[in-house]
Structure 1
Amino acid sequence: MSEQIHTAGPAAYVINQIRITDPDRYMTYAKAALPTIHAYGGEILVRGGAPESLAGPGDVDRVVLIRFESRQQARAWRTSPEYTAILPIREASSVSTVYVVDAAE
């Protein structure tokens, strides 16, 4: 069940830098994750391969950027039963660094 949290303050973005180790299994995760993101009010802004590093090591296959109404909403999605049920698939099929950041006001 989704949890809509309405708070004053800036939107928040979840940024996921991903190195995929098992493409088929990762796609299973990606398809299952999408409805959980939408259920918590998330909007995928970037979901692409072939990221080009302009500085730094750039050893990722995919970058995902998701906008949420607030940091609280992003955390509610990330800790939700729906998402945590599929998280082991992502962990078994990729190596990720995930951030949550507030939007500039």
Structure 2
Amino acid sequence: MKTYALAHLRSVTMGPDIVAYLEAIDATLMPFGGKFVLHGDGNKRVLEGTFAGDVILLSFPDRKAAEAWYASPAYQAILPLRTRNSEGDVLLIDGVEDDHRATDILGRK
């Protein structure tokens, strides 16, 4: 089952650190099968509520690969470039099976 790394960055100070982070992150993803699904502001249209900031969504083959990427020396080396220059939330979340239905969650605790 795919696992996603989801970031909601409410503010980013663009500068040399963020540029260096962006130039380096792709190489950290490759060994773990990670790839971008969404990156940044894009062409979003808020349908309900308010939403400020950017969304970044990375896809990994599974939870083990996602956790290994985040903990990898290569990613940990560039992580401070982002965290010193942005504010937001980052999480890992597992996807659902292709045949998932909304009512499937009713059986979970």
Normalised by the size of structure 2, how large is the TM-score?
0.77
* 1:40 paired residue number: 32
For the pair 1:90 / 2:85, whether they are aligned, the reply is no
Letter in 1 for 2:35: E
Q: Is 1:59 matched up with 2:52? A: yes
Give me the TM-score of the superposition, normalised by structure 1. 0.79
Please state how far the C-alpha of 1:52 moved relative to its aligned partner: 4.1
Whether the 8 Å contact between 1:26 and 1:93 is mirrored in structure 2 is yes
Bigger Rg over Cα? 2
Q: Is the 1:52–1:58 contact (alpha carbons within 8 Å) kept by the matching residues of 2?
A: no
Distance in 1 (CA, whole Å) between partners of 2:28 and 2:37 is 15
Q: How far apart, CA to CA, are the structure 2 residues paired with 1:99 and 1:52?
A: 23
Q: CA RMSD of the aligned region, Å?
A: 1.6
Equivalents in 2 of 1:37, 1:74: separation in Å?
Answer: 9
Give aligned pairs, total: 95
Displacement after TM superposition at 1:47 (Å): 0.8
Are the aligned partners of 1:20 and 1:26 in contact in 2 as well (CA < 8 Å)?
no
Structure 2: gaps of 5 or more residues: 98-109
Determine the C-alpha separation between the residues in 1 that align with 2:47 and 2:9.
Answer: 17
Identity across aligned pairs (percent)?
31
State the distance in 2 between where 1:40 and 1:17 align: 22
The range that moved more, 79-88 or 18-27, is 18-27
